[in-house]
Homo-oligomer: A and B are copies of this chain.
Amino acid sequence: MTLLTPDQLEAQLRQIGAERYHNRHPFHRKLHDGKLDKAQVQAWALNRYYYQARIPAKDATLLARLPTAELRREWRRRIEDHDGTEPGTGGVARWLMLTDGLGLDRDYVESLDGLLPATRFSVDAYVNFVRDQSILAAIASSLTELFSPTIISERVSGMLRHYDFVSEKTLAYFTPRLTQAPRDSDFALAYVREKARTPEQQKEVLGALEFKCSVLWTMLDALDYAYVEGHIPPGAFVP
């Protein structure tokens, strides 16, 4: 192992995104290209809800481990973004506007009863990673946000073009993410560029991003297998 410069480390992180971020997944291509029916988009939104709903838990788990007020203030903002400042605001509430708009019963969505087990296991793996790994790895695992503005733009424009059952209003979740994600990933990227000072730490950072890409990818594998290939596992949402 050799020590990378910060620029080399960043280049390797961006390479991981280019190869492993879930915009390359066949299910995402189908979602954006209008190849899914409403039931399949419902299944995606229902399962992705669990990811959204657990992000504040993931961030609070890390917040509890951060050693300084400066770091905690930075990380606390992420929880504010997701949970909002009053009822009906924040990313989780905006995701429920999407599931509402798709005709899913809100109590059913929030019950989590119809989740694919793979969704639950993948998202829980992310929360546990942030609890169990180093703070450096936990922060690095958020770096998928480096790549999210591109996928969000593709997703919103593609879905609006192809699906008459979504609207700008129901896709309101995504608009604030276009500014929040770059702000958050700027911080996380600067942090890992500065703090990953040994080959071992740099390997840890790269591994954390690969891990996080695998969380997002596995969620789409399960959706594609269940709702496109038609193998819905026992107990999961049946459209």
B-contacting residues of A (Cβ < 8 Å)?
19-20, 26, 116-118, 120-122, 124-125, 128, 210, 213-215, 217-218, 221-222, 224-226, 229, 231, 233-235
Contacts and interface: CB of A to CB of B under 8 A. Distances in A.
A214 B218 CA distance: 15
B121 A26 contact: no
A118 to B, nearest CB: 5
A162 to B, nearest CB: 23
B214 A234 contact: yes
Residue in A19, A20, A217, A221 with the greatest tally of chain B CB atoms within 10 Å: A221
7 contacts: A20-B235, A118-B121, A118-B218, A210-B235, A217-B233, A218-B222, A221-B231
A118 B231 contact: no
Contacts of A124: 121, 125, 128
**Which 5 pairs across A and B sit closest by C-beta, in order of nearness?**
A117-B214, A121-B121, A225-B225, A121-B125, A20-B234
B225 A117 contact: no
Contacts of A233: 214, 217-218, 221
Contact of A222 (B118, B120, B235): B118
A221 B118 contact: yes
A79 B20 CA distance: 37
Contacts of A128: 124, 128
A117 B217 contact: yes
A190 to B, nearest CB: 26
